[in-house]
Structure formats: structure tokens, C-alpha cells
Amino acid sequence: MWALGRAANPLRSQGCHVGAFRACCTKFIVQSDYIENAVGITEPAELVAGAPLLPKRLYHSPSIHVYLHPGSRSLSSQAGAKSSGDEEELEDGFSELETPASIDSIEESNTGEEIDEELVSGPDLSDIDSVESLAEASQNELDLSDADADAEAEAEAEAGATDEESKKKRFPLDLFRAIMNAPHVGSALDKWVAEGNRLGRSEISVCMINLRKRRMYGRALQISEWLEKNKQIKFVERDYASHLDLIAKVRGLQKAEQYIGKIPESFRGEIIYRTLLANCVVATNVKKAEEVFNKMRDLDFPITTFACNQLLLLYKRFDKKKIADVLLLMEKENAKPTLFTYRLLIDTKGQSNDITGMEQVLETMKAERIEPDIFTQFVLSKHYINAGLNEKAEGVLKEMEGCSLVENRGACRNLLPLYAALGKADDVKRVWKACEPKPQLEECVAAIEAWGKLGKIEEAEAVFEKMCKTWKKLPTKNYTALLRVYADHKLLSKGKDLAKRMADSGCRIGPLTWDGLVKLYVEAGDVEKADSILQKAVQQSSLKPMFNSYMVIMDQYAKRGDVHNAEKMFHRLKLAGYAGRIRQYQTLLQAYVNAKTPAYGFRDRMKADNIFPNKAVAAQLAQVDAFKKTAISDLLD
């Protein structure tokens, strides 16, 4: 118990006092049985003796349990308004809030047949610290799979199917294929019904799941709208939640909020709001996430571990000082931490280079009889490697491998990048050899990235060619893996040839490809060409480029002290919907610092966007303050 208290020492680099994590987490562990994944407040709250630790809203109130340094903020982004957040993607059945996408669940996955280029199989472990990846890694938390099973059982009962018939028809893909092959979703559904085909929950569920796995949210939304309009099925709360999720993904949070008002009040429950909360976190909208969370409290919905995990996920990225407050709230509401909760805390500790604290959190997790999964082991290994503790990292890798790679095949895609990070080419070769006879797409991507990290371009190319021979059509992700390898090694000519090959193969050119091309030209020193590619992509497509694509270019302008172009990229980031992230402000400030130019009104700009400077940004602001006083300026004045 005391070990966890020490492990939960707050992140001093983020400004937490030593007592913050200790008090709330220590108590946490005693009570936990198992572990799981712009608006402020109306008035300040002050704790007095005998008062509750946390008021109903998410105030920050100093107490003997939680004490943050002056200047730290509560769970609300801004004091002085009304308020109330969550982040997992929804996985349907006709409600899809939790099952991670898996290549194995798709009929054509490993048969050598054509694969849709939008297929996504799960979190990219090479970027496990990103909000999006951790979000995908925790999709099981929404726990709507029971509704899917119930819906399918109901559909089979309606059709009078026997057990044997159910097994044969367990995954009815005919509707999904019809939707995929039709130019218009509505006409395809009209034709499907007109031909007398069955359109029950089982068919809808499978179709929606496969569309979501390919991130084809637009088509999934059209299906949901058609079903609601035609009253083909009787909507329940989870169906409305699924529809809400799709609106948020396709049309944004504002439209999603408006849709809530159209949902019958009897179905406007906790699932609806946690779905909106999840999308606020996906959109990295801290202010709106807190507003939704507080709204859930106002409506007297139970404070679930899922909702708290979403706040942890958000604050892990944007404001680590608030993590202690969320943990205290979980203790107060008896929301038991989950495996995902611990994974977030372990990753947070690792990011702050607190390896001792990270290990103590792990010990506490095990004491609660929760064993680390592959994702958690990956996070541990990555932080050991970053800290130079290679022996400890290798020990975790051996645990991941188990007795046999053949028997523990699922670990291979995670082992490849880790062994590459350790510089162990022989182990990368050994793991890839276990996969090579019947490789999976994700293993191929991991192998390409691993060989690229080791500088073995020919080996990476050989894996790519094997994929081309195994599958008739490759997803975009598999091309961009090799494209990034070429970018890392400044192989501009090879990268351009690969991009042309992608186009010739009929591969859809989207954000992943744009990101690879941008990096390719930036690494080759042609920032203007990279900027031009990104600008053309935005003009020619309705898809949104990745945040990293903008930042790679903006970083280069900042290094040059090119304030004009850095400001231009900053503006384009906001137009693309990437607001509320301190990194873009930090990069823009660096452009002013390098240009030795004062940044007039920059603090006000940040305040208007509800961004508060951390220690590094505060130092930058001091450097570009047009009115700062120095010894010389005082004399001259």
C-alpha cells in the first residue's frame, strides 16, 4: 500500500505536489478489487473542515489529500462558467462502442484476397503515447458487446433459425458487400428491402462493424439515418448512441450535441453522454469534455470508471496536474480502476522519466491481481528503453514472448519494433522468421518499421514485396510504412517511386500518404515542396490531414525563424480543427524566439484559446516579451 503511495508521487515536472498522487492512490489500492481503459465552474469552491473533498462539479479544492502548487487548475478548463468528457471509439452491433477492430474478424483478412485500403486493425503501438492510439487500445471499456449478441439472438429468433443455421450464418456479409458496391447507400438499402432480403439487427450489426473497422463512418452514418427515417428497426438507447457517435465523427461535436436534443428523453441516458464525452476526448477538446462530464454529474448519472479514464486519457496529454484530482474523484465515487487506468498511470510515469514510480504502479496493479497485457508490457518496455535500462526492457520482452513465438503469435507485431529500438537485428530477424510463413498485415508493417529503424532498407523492401505477392491490393498503411522508412533515410527518389506505385495500384491517397510525403520532402530539405503538397491535399480532398503533417512543416519554419510561414501553418492548423494543443503554440513561439522578434499579445492569444503556459512556454514568452525590462533598458529609459 505504501509502495503505491510512493509510486503515485505526483509528476513534479508537471507541477504536482508530492502529496497529490500519494494520498488518493494509496487509498485507491486498498479498496480496489481489479483494474480496467469552454466552460469552467460557476463559482470557486473552498474546502473547510468537515466539507466534502470534492463538490458536485469538478472544482479544484486544496485538501489534505490533494494539494497542487499555486497556479494549478481544477478539472475545469476555465473558472467562471458552467461546465462538464470521454474518449473511446464506438464499435457497433447496431451499437459499436467497444470492440477493437481486428483483421482476423474480417473475412478476407489473410486469404490473399483484396483488402480495403481503409482497413484499420487496431492501435499503432509505435505511437502508443498518442491520444488516438491509447483510445483505440481501450475500446473494450464501452462494453456494448452484450447488446450486439442480444440483437443477433433476437434476429435469429425472428427468422426461426436453428442453432446449426445460426452457425452457418454467423457473419452475414451480403448486406455489407451490397453497401460497398453501391454508389449510394440509401438506394442500396431500398433495393435490398425491395428484393425481399432480410434486414434485421444481425445484418445491420455486421455491416456497421465492418464499415467502422474501415473507418468508413460516412457510409455507416447514412445507414443509421436511413434506418431511423424508415423505422426499419426500433431504436433503443444504444442505437441512438451509435448514431450520435457517427455524427460526431463525420459532422463534428456541435452537430452531435444538437442531435441529443432530438433523442427521446427516455433514451437520453448515461450511454448517450459518455458517447459524446468519448468523442470530445478524441477531438482533444478539453473544454467541451469537461463540460459534458459536469453535465453528466448534473443529471445524476453514475460516475463510471470509463468516464474517469477518459479524463485521465485527456489530461495525460494536456494537463498532468489534474490527474490526481481524477483519481481522488474515482476513490470518492468508488469507481474502481481498470487495467486501462493502470496503463495510463504507468505511461504517465514513464513519460516523466519516473521509472521507480512506474514500477511501483505496476507492483500495485499486480497486487490487485491484474496482470499486464501486451499493451502494458509494450509501454513498460518502451520506457525502459528510453531510460537506457535495456536489461529490464529485455526481461519484459521475454515475458511477452512466452515459451514459444509460434504459440504466442499475437506478441510478434509488438516485439518487432521493441527489438529494433534495442538495436537487436538478430532478434528482429528471429521474430520475423516466426511470422514469415503466414504473415499478417500488421506484422508486415511492424517488420518494415523495425528494419527501417535498424537501417536495413533491403530487408524492409523484401517484406513489402512479400506483401505485394500475398495480397492483391494493399491498404494505404502498408505503403506508408515503407514511405516513412524512405523519409527517415532521406531516400527521396525511392519515396517518389513508391508514391507513384501507390497511385498506379489504385490505392486511395489520403492523410497517411500525405503525412509520409510531407515527411519525405521535409527530411530531404525541401520544406516548401512539403508545404505545397499539404496545401494541395487540403484543396483537393474533404479529408483532414494529420496533426503531425502540419507540425513537421511548422517545426522547420520555426527553426529558420520564419515567423510569417509559421503563423500561416498555425492558422491552417486551427482551420483544420486542431486547436487547444500547447505544442503548436510552443512551436510558433520558437519561431519568434529564433527570429529575435517580439510576439505582441501572445499571452492574450493563448488565454483566448484556453491554453495555459507550462514552464517551457513561460520561458519562451519571457524571451519574446516586447515590454520586458533589462538592466540596459532600465538605464536607457
- The pLDDT tens digits for 41-79 are 222 222 222 223 233 444 333 332 332 233 333 344 332
In percent, how much of the chain has pLDDT > 70? 71
Provide the terminal-to-terminal Cα distance of the chain, rounded to the nearest Å.
Answer: 60
> Which residue would you say has higher pLDDT here, 181 or 79?
181
> Is there a contact between 338 and 34 (Cβ–Cβ < 8 Å)?
yes
Domain contains 475: no
> Which residue would you say has higher pLDDT here, 4 or 264?
264
> Is there a contact between 121 and 110 (Cβ–Cβ < 8 Å)?
no
Domain contains 392: no
> Is there a contact between 11 and 319 (Cβ–Cβ < 8 Å)?
no
One-letter amino acid for residue 424 of the chain: K
Query: Is it true that the peptide bond before 94 is cis, omega within 30 degrees of 0?
Result: yes
Q: Considering only CA atoms, which of 527, 596, 603, 598 is closest in space to residue 568?
A: 527
What 8-state DSSP symbol labels residue 100?
Answer: P
Give whole-number Cα distances, 333 to 249, 278, 323, 387, in Å: 30, 20, 15, 36
* Neighbouring residues of 154: CB distance < 8 A, sequence distance ≥ 6: 200, 201
Query: Is it true that the peptide bond before 547 is cis, omega within 30 degrees of 0?
Result: no
What distance in Å separates the CA atoms of residue 262 and residue 268, rounded to the nearest whole number? Answer: 9
What 8-state DSSP symbol labels residue 122?
Answer: S
Domain contains 589: yes
The Cβ of residue 15 has, within 10 Å, a number of other Cβ atoms equal to 18
**91 has which bridge partners?**
97
Task: Provide the domain limits for residue 543.
Answer: 510-636
What distance in Å separates the CA atoms of residue 123 and residue 128, rounded to the nearest whole number? Answer: 7
Question: What would the grid cell of residue 222 be?
Answer: 447514412
Per-residue pLDDT for 169 more than 50?
Answer: no
pLDDT of residue 631: 54
Domain count, the chain: 3
What distance in Å separates the CA atoms of residue 329 and residue 312, rounded to the nearest whole number? Answer: 11
Domain contains 306: no
Per-residue pLDDT for 158 more than 80?
Answer: no
Judge if 152 and 275 occupy the same domain: yes
> Is there a contact between 274 and 293 (Cβ–Cβ < 8 Å)?
no
What distance in Å separates the CA atoms of residue 140 and residue 100, rounded to the nearest whole number? Answer: 7
Torsion of CA 399, 403, 409, 413, to 10 degrees: 30
The 3-state DSSP class for residue 388 equals coil
Domain contains 444: no
Judge if 130 and 232 occupy the same domain: yes
Judge if 76 and 94 occupy the same domain: no
Judge if 182 and 290 occupy the same domain: yes
Residue 11, Cβ density class (10 Å: 0-12 exposed, 13-18 middle, ≥19 buried): buried
Domain contains 458: no
Domain contains 498: no
Backbone angles phi, psi at 33, to 5 degrees: -95, -30
The average confidence (pLDDT) of the chain is 76
* Chain-centroid distance, C-alpha 392: 27
Judge if 268 and 331 occupy the same domain: no
Judge if 243 and 128 occupy the same domain: yes
What 8-state DSSP symbol labels residue 16?
Answer: B
Judge if 69 and 95 occupy the same domain: no
pLDDT of residue 57: 45
Judge if 74 and 167 occupy the same domain: no
Judge if 123 and 252 occupy the same domain: yes
The Cβ of residue 356 has, within 10 Å, a number of other Cβ atoms equal to 12
Judge if 51 and 98 occupy the same domain: no
Domain contains 245: yes
Judge if 90 and 190 occupy the same domain: yes
* pLDDT band with cut points at 50, 70 and 90 for residue 183: confident
- The pLDDT tens digits for 527-537 are 999 999 999 99
Judge if 79 and 130 occupy the same domain: no
The 3-state DSSP class for residue 276 equals helix
Q: Considering only CA atoms, which of 320, 326, 329, 377 is closest in space to residue 349?
A: 320
